[in-house]
Amino acid sequence: MIQNKLVNSIQETIQKNWEHPAFTNYQKDTITFQEVAQRIQWMHFLFKELGIKKGDKVAVIGRNLNNWAVTYLGAITYGAVIVPILPDFNSSDIHHIVTHSESKLLFATENIFNKIDDDKMKKLMGIISLGEFEPLCSSCDKLNKAVEKANKKSKEIALSKDHLNFADPKEDDIAVLSYTSGTSGFSKGVMLPFKSLYSNVKIGFDYIDLRPQDKVVSFLPLAHVFGCLFEFLTEFCCGCHVVFLSRVPTPQIITKAFRDVQPKLICLVPLIMEKIYKKRILPVLESRRVKLMLKIPLLEKKIYKKIRSSLIETFGGKFIEVIIGGAALNKEVEDFLKKIEFPFTVGYGMTECGPLISYSPTQKFRSHSCGEVVDRMQVRIDSEDPYKVVGEIQVKGDNVMKGYYKNPEATAEAMTEDGWLRTGDLGVIDTDNTIYIRGRSKNMLLGPSGQNIYPEEIEAALNNMPFVQESIVTDDKDHKLIALIYPDYEACDAEGLNKDEIQQALDKDKQIINKSLPAYMKVSRIILFPEEFKKTPKRNIKRYLYTNLYRE
């Protein structure tokens, strides 16, 4: 028996569900657990032919697809380290991550292959298509031969479900190297060991009633641990049928997929739920007729029951709960969902914990909390009274990363002297170990599909613009990114620019910067500030004074 709990779970689910559907590309092809195993075997043959060893890095980039999942499983069951890369990253970001991670092989979709330069990734043996698992670089003779040999071996060697040849890495070995960003000055490769992944999967085993052949829709980016662990890996280990939505997940596309698939579990970032509330529910509640009816108790109950039924149908009608994570849920939206008894819960986590820190099933979820501290994790609040006085949330346990890859300084900064991970989030905790977040000391924003946006990256580019003294990037009430800019008035005066001309010059430069950024990081507008931003004694901008100005 394989001792590694995660690899053992992958092996067992394949054996138990051999003939059942495992993955489907939405409205396209489906593969069974047996076919997943056959593709994993082919991948292991390929790795051996290329001389890839346990612990070597294998990168994957593309939208949610059957073969993305197969590549992930193939790497970790071989004992290699998988390096997921967001498909929204630009070419230089991809080059940097592949190079920094020292990846030996890259799996990519053809559209992404067309925007990268393999000459800028010198240590790479080659690039494989996520479509048909074929070489994408014609000059890679060694790769071409290795693929041919792997194909031949796969045909010659019959695969039996009782004799799967998977590696047995140690629980502390690195399984995933997850980059929090693409830009070299900001990127940090989070080293997640097998025990972190399994600890998160086991939370699914213990608390979520997922059963073989239950369906789920995977639309959150697989390159992020939230989507990867709770829309794919946990479900696969439970024997579920995962349907991958590879298109850009607008609320319209997502809800259509939910109606078609009727998933058993749904994971969302707050933005999607808030958009549905704002566009579908709020107009109904604000109509004059409904407002009058809500004043009559019996009619109020009927209206809320009808809205609840409609919302449940929107999500396919067969789910056990909606798990919302990645950022704070709007209080008005949360209160309304509670009022109509909609089955939802809010969890809390971070990439460095693979991701879960806290979660409670719907029936135990307390309003405005983010759930109870999960098993195998400890939480403390860095304050004189953790139950009343807000302090930094610090964590310890199986879920926590082993550090940042090739970055001991960042690792040391993230940890306390006695070994606790600093989350950078502020909150309190009650006697039942339920966490209440009161603020974010980190500056991270959340993109429309759950992408992490670090405003410092964009600010670094803005501050290099000719007429910018300093800047703050935040978001508005529609979750669009805006740049608050204090101009370099001395440089503007030297050029004889008035206010309108300054705005025009900055808007022109904004277009240039946006071309170098992923779509979810593009700045929608620039707002000029007449005076310098207020600073701390250390001359850091008091960001909290400005970040909420345009969210109301």
Residue 405 forms part of a structural domain: no
Whether residue 189 lies inside any domain: the answer is no
What mean pLDDT do residues 416-422 have? 97
Q: At residue 139, does pLDDT exceed 80?
A: no
Q: Are strands 81-85 and 57-61 parallel, antiparallel or unpaired?
A: parallel
The confidence band for 138, taking pLDDT boundaries of 50, 70 and 90, is low
Average pLDDT over residues 227-246: 97
3-state secondary structure of 349: strand
Domain membership of residue 317 (yes or no) is yes
Do residues 328 and 300 share a domain? yes
pLDDT by residue (tens digit) across 44-98?
999 999 999 999 999 999 999 999 999 999 999 999 999 999 998 889 999 999 9
Q: Give the per-residue pLDDT at 440.
A: 65
Gap between the Cα atoms of 136 and 110, Å rounded: 8
pLDDT of amino acid 122: 87
Predicted structure pTM score: 0.88
At 140, is the pLDDT very low, low, confident or very high (cuts 50, 70, 90)? confident
> Cβ of 549: how many Cβ atoms within 10 Å?
13
**pLDDT number for residue 235:** 98
Q: pLDDT of 364-400, one tens digit each?
A: 999 999 999 999 999 999 999 999 988 999 999 999 9
Residue 501 lies in a domain: yes
Q: How confident is the model at residue 205 (pLDDT cuts 50, 70, 90)?
A: very high
Report the percent of the chain where pLDDT is more than 90: 79
Domain for residue 538, yes or no?
A: yes
For residue 190, tell me if it sits in a domain. no
Q: Tell me, rounded to whole angstroms, the distance of Cα 409 from its chain centroid.
A: 24
Q: Which helix (H) or strand (E) holds 299?
A: helix 297-314
Same domain, 425 and 461: no
Q: Structure tokens of 537?
A: 């004694």
Claim to verify: residue 386 and residue 473 sit in the same structural domain: no
- 419-445 CB burial, b ≥16 within 10 A, e <16: ebbbbbbbbbbeeeebbbbeebeebbb
| Residue 176: inside a domain | no
My answer on whether 150 and 283 are in the same domain is no
Spatial distance between the Cα atoms of 203 and 16, rounded to a whole number of angstroms:
20
Q: What is the CATH number of the domain that holds 41?
A: 3.40.50.980
Task: State pLDDT tens for residues 265-321.
Answer: 999 988 889 889 988 899 999 899 999 999 999 999 999 999 999 999 999 999 999
Indicate the burial class of 29 (C-beta count within 10 angstroms; 0-12, 13-18, 19 or more).
exposed
Residues 126 and 41 in one domain: yes
Tell whether 253 and 340 lie within a shared domain. yes
Q: Which CATH number fits the domain that encloses residue 315?
A: 3.40.50.12780
What is the per-residue pLDDT across 523-537, written as a single tens digit (0 to 9) for each? 999 999 989 998 766
> Looking at the structure, do residues 275 and 228 belong to the same domain, yes or no?
yes
Write the pLDDT tens digit of every residue in 112-135: 999 999 889 988 999 999 999 999
The range of the structural domain enclosing residue 505 comes to 454-545
What mean pLDDT comes out for the span 427-449?
A: 85
The band of 243, judged by pLDDT with boundaries at 50, 70 and 90, is very high
Q: How many domains does the chain have?
A: 3
* Same domain for 433 and 524: no
The pLDDT mean for the chain works out to 93
- Return the higher-pLDDT residue of 453 and 17: 17
Please list, in sequence order, all residues whose beta carbon lies within 8 angstroms of the beta carbon of residue 385, skipping any fewer than 6 positions away: none
Count of CA atoms in the C-beta half-sphere (13 A) of 253: 14
Are both 136 and 252 inside the same structural domain?
no
Q: Could you tell me if 68 and 145 lie in one domain?
A: yes
Q: What is the mean pLDDT of residues 213-236?
A: 97
Whether 492 and 464 share a structural domain: yes
Give 344's pLDDT tier (boundaries 50, 70, 90). Answer: very high
Same domain, 425 and 462: no
More confident residue, 249 or 476: 476
pLDDT in tens, 159-200: 999 999 999 999 999 999 999 877 666 789 999 999 999 999
Lowest mean pLDDT among 252-256, 275-279, 364-368, 442-446: 442-446
Confidence of residue 16 (pLDDT cuts 50, 70, 90): very high
> How many Cβ atoms are within 10 Å of 72's Cβ, its own excluded?
23
